[in-house]
Amino acid sequence: MPATHWMIGLGLGAGILSGMFGIGGGLVIVPVLALVFAVDQKTAVGTSLFALMFPVGILGVLEYARRKEILYASGLWIALGLLAGAYLGALLVGKLSPLTMKRLYGVFLIVVGVYYLYSTRGK
C-alpha cells in the first residue's frame, strides 16, 4: 500500500483539478495509482471510486451553487445515468484483464484529450 502522505497529496491534486475543471477525480487518481504506485488497473479504479464517493462533490457543489452555476435538473438526470453506468461498468470490469483495462483507459484518455483540444463547441 502506498504511503499515506502520497495518497493525501494525490487526493488534494485530484480534488483541485475536479473543482477547477469539473473532471471526475478518477481521471487523475487512476493513472497515478497505476503508473506511479504500480497498483493494478482494476484496484486503481475501485480505490478511486471509493475515495470519490462522498467528498468530491459536496464543497465544490456548494461553491458553484453560491454562484448559481448549476443546472439542477440536468445534474439529477446525469446522476441517474451515473448510478446505472457505474454499476454496469463495474460488472464489465470483472470480465476484463488488468492489461485490457489499462489499454482501454489509455485509449479513452487519448480520444477525450484530442476531442477536447480540437473542439470548438463551448468555447
Q: Report if residue 47 sits inside a domain.
A: yes
The confidence score (pLDDT) of residue 2 equals 82
Please give the Cα distance from 107 to 88 (Å, whole number): 20
**Of 5-14, 33-42, 92-101, 114-123, minimum mean pLDDT range:** 114-123
Which amino acid is located at 99 in the chain?
L
Name the more confident of 100 and 79: 100
The confidence score (pLDDT) of residue 123 equals 63
Please give the tally of structural domains in the chain: 1
Q: Report if residue 123 sits inside a domain.
A: no
Domain that holds residue 110: 4-118
Q: pLDDT tens-digit profile of 34-59?
A: 889 998 888 888 888 888 776 667 77
Average pLDDT, the chain: 84
Q: pLDDT tens-digit profile of 55-83?
A: 667 777 888 889 999 888 988 888 888 78
Q: Report if residue 75 sits inside a domain.
A: yes
Q: Report if residue 73 sits inside a domain.
A: yes
Q: Report if residue 66 sits inside a domain.
A: yes
Q: Residue 62, exposed/middle/buried by CB under 10 A (0-12, 13-18, 19+)?
A: exposed
